[in-house]
A and B are shown apart, each in its own frame.
Chain A
Amino acid sequence: MVTMTPASASLDASAHADSGGLPDFTTEAYKDAYSRINAIVIEGEQEAHDNYIAIGGLLPDQADELSKLARMELKHMKGFTACANNLGVTADMAFAKEFFAPLHGNFQKALAEGKVTTCLLIQAILIEAFAISAYHIYIPVADPFARKITEGVVKDEYTHLNYGQEWLKANLETVRDELEQANRENLPLVRKMLAQVSGDAAVLHMEQEDLMADFLSSYQEALLDVGFTGREIAKMAAAALVG
Chain B
Amino acid sequence: MFGLIGHSTSFEEARRTARSLGYEEYADGDLDMWCAAPPQLVERVEVTSPTGKTIQGAYIDSVFVPEMLRRFKTAKRKVLKAMELAQKNKIDISALGGFTSIIFEDMNLLREQRVSAVELDWQRFTTGNTHTAWVICQQVVTNTARLGIDLAKARVAVVGATGDIGSAVCRWLQRHGIEELLLVARRPQPLADLQQSLGEGRILSLEEALPEADVVVWVASLPQGLEIDTASLRDPCLMIDGGYPKNLDSKAAAPGVHVLKGGIVEFWQDIGWQMMEVAEMANPQRQMFACFAEAMLLDFEAIHTNFSWGRNNITLEGMDQIGQASVRHGFRPLELFASDHPETALTPA
Q: Is the CB of A1 within 8 A of B128?
A: yes
Q: A2-B102, A136-B117, A242-B25 are in contact. Are A213 and B244 (CB under 8 A)?
A: no
**Nearest CB to that of A215 among chain B residues?**
B36
Partner of A3, one of B88, B160, B224: B160
Specify which chain B residues have a CB less than 8 angstroms from the CB of A16 in the assembled complex: 72-73, 107
C-alpha gap A165/B178 in the complex (Å): 62
Which residue, B108, B116, B242, B244, has most C-beta atoms of chain A within 10 A?
A: B116
Contact segment of A7-15, A33-41, A61-69, A173-181: A7-15
Interface pair B105/A3, CB less than 8 Å apart: yes
The answer on a CB contact under 8 Å between A2 and B25 is no
Q: Which of A18, A216, A218, A221 contacts B37 (CB 8 A)?
A: A216
Given the contacts A11-B103, A11-B106, A2 and B221 also touching, CB distance less than 8 Å:
yes
Chain B 19-51 near chain A by CB (<8 Å), digits 1 or 0:
001111110110011011111111000000000
User: How many residues of A sit at the interface, in one of the four size bands?
Assistant: 35 or more
A10 surroundings in chain B (CB, below 8 A): 106
A141 partner residues in chain B, CB cutoff 8 A: none
**Which A80-106 residues sit within 8 Å CB-CB of chain B?**
none
A5 to B100 alpha-carbon distance, docked (Å): 12
Known: A3-B102, A8-B224, A136-B116. A210 touches B73 (CB 8 A): yes
Contacts of B37 in A (CB 8 A): 213, 216, 234, 237, 241
Known: A2-B220, A3-B165. A11 touches B102 (CB 8 A): yes
A214 interface residue per 8 A CB criterion: yes
Q: Does B69 contact A11, Cβ atoms closer than 8 Å?
A: yes
Beta-carbon contact of B106 and A234 below 8 Å: no
A213 and B107 in contact, given A1-B244, A6-B223, A234-B23 (Cβ under 8 angstroms) = no
Interface pick from B7-15, B74-82, B268-276: B74-82
Q: Are B70 and A3 in contact (CB under 8 A)?
A: no
B residues in contact with A166, CB < 8 Å: none
Most chain B CB within 10 A, of A3, A154, A209, A213, is at A3
Q: Give A5 to B263 CA distance when docked, in angstroms.
A: 17
By beta carbon, the residue of chain A nearest B112 is A18
Q: In angstroms, how far is the closest chain B Cβ from the Cβ of A119?
A: 25
Q: How far is the CB of A20 from chain B (nearest CB, A)?
A: 13
Q: Is the CB of B289 within 8 A of A238?
A: no
What B residues does A18 contact at CB under 8 A? 73
User: By the criterion CB–CB under 8 Å, are A1 and B97 in contact?
Assistant: yes
Q: Are A231 and B22 closer than 8 Å at their CB atoms?
A: yes
Contact with A along B285-311 (1 / 0, CB 8 A): 000010100000000000000000001
Complex Cα–Cα for A217 and B63 (A): 12
* CB interface residues, B 119-167, toward A, < 8 Å: 127-129, 132, 160, 162-166
Residues on A with C-beta less than 8 A from B77 are: 210, 213
Q: Which single member of A158, A212, A214, A234 contacts B40 (CB below 8 Å)? A: A234
**A158 neighbours in B (Cβ, 8 Å):** 117
- Nearest-neighbour CB distance to chain A for B166, whole angstroms, equals 7
Of B33, B107, B219, which one neighbours A241 at CB under 8 angstroms? Answer: B33
Say whether A238 contacts B132, CB under 8 Å: no
Assess the B127–A1 pair: CB atoms within 8 A. yes
Q: Collect the chain B residues with CB atoms within 8 Å of residue A154's CB.
A: 117
A133 with B25: CB separation less than 8 A? no
Question: What's the Cα separation between A3 and B159 when bound, in Å?
Answer: 11
Most A CB within 10 A of own CB, among B22, B98, B128, B185: B22
Judged by a CB distance under 8 angstroms, whether A112 is at the interface is: no
* A30, B96: Cα distance in complex, Å: 39
Q: How far is the CB of B243 from chain A (nearest CB, A)?
A: 5
| Contact A4 to B26, CB < 8 A, known contacts A136-B117, A207-B73, A213-B38 | no
Given A11-B102, A238-B26: A220 and B38 interface contact (C-beta under 8 Å):
yes
A158 to chain B, nearest CB (A): 7
6 A-B pairs besides A6-B221, A13-B72, A242-B28 with CB distance below 8 A are A1-B165, A2-B163, A3-B106, A3-B163, A11-B69, A154-B117
5 contacts between A and B (CB under 8 A): A3-B106, A3-B162, A213-B35, A234-B37, A241-B33
Q: Which residues of B contact A (CB under 8 A)?
A: 21-26, 28-29, 32-33, 35-42, 69-70, 72-75, 77, 81, 84-85, 88, 96-98, 101-103, 105-108, 116-117, 127-129, 132, 160, 162-166, 185-186, 219-224, 242-244, 263, 289, 291, 311
Q: Contact residues of A with B, CB < 8 Å?
A: 1-13, 16, 18, 132-133, 136, 154, 158, 207, 209-210, 212-214, 216-218, 220-221, 230-231, 234-235, 237-238, 241-242
